[in-house]
Amino acid sequence: MAFALPLLWGVPSVAQGAGQQGGHQGATAGYHAAMEKMNRDMAAGPMTGNADHDFASLMAKHHQAAIDMARVELEHGRDPEMRRTAQEVIDKQQKEIADLRTWMSRHPSR
């Protein structure tokens, strides 16, 4: 997964230029900040060697990035359907994070 992240990271930089031309600098910066934070958080967290625990930990960070990006949409987006989708993402991902944390608390990584 760490190998694929740099490859994917190059794609948004192309979209960034297009978004800035359209007057969406704040949203573009917000989306990039959310992705950068996720990458830092995922890389910084120690891996336990327990595949299940590591998966839950990484997915919680991934879901938080989805929440952060959805909040950018709510701040900058105008389309009612996308704003509803963003709110749904927030609601669903918060539940997913809570479920993952509950699982991790019941299953120590040892």
- pLDDT value at position 107? 94
Q: Which residues contact 5 (CB under 8 A, 6 or more apart)?
A: 39
The closest alpha carbon to 67, from 101, 14, 30, 23, belongs to: 30
Residue 4 CA: distances (Å) to CA of 1, 8, 9, 39: 5, 6, 9, 11
CA 32 and chain centroid, separation: 10
pTM of the model: 0.76
- pLDDT value at position 45? 78
- pLDDT value at position 36? 96
In angstroms, the CA 74 to CA 13 distance is 22
- pLDDT value at position 97? 98
Local confidence pLDDT in tens for the 110 residues of the chain: 443 443 333 334 333 343 443 446 899 999 999 999 999 999 997 899 999 999 999 999 999 999 999 999 999 999 999 999 999 999 999 999 999 999 999 998 87
- pLDDT value at position 3? 38
- pLDDT value at position 24? 63
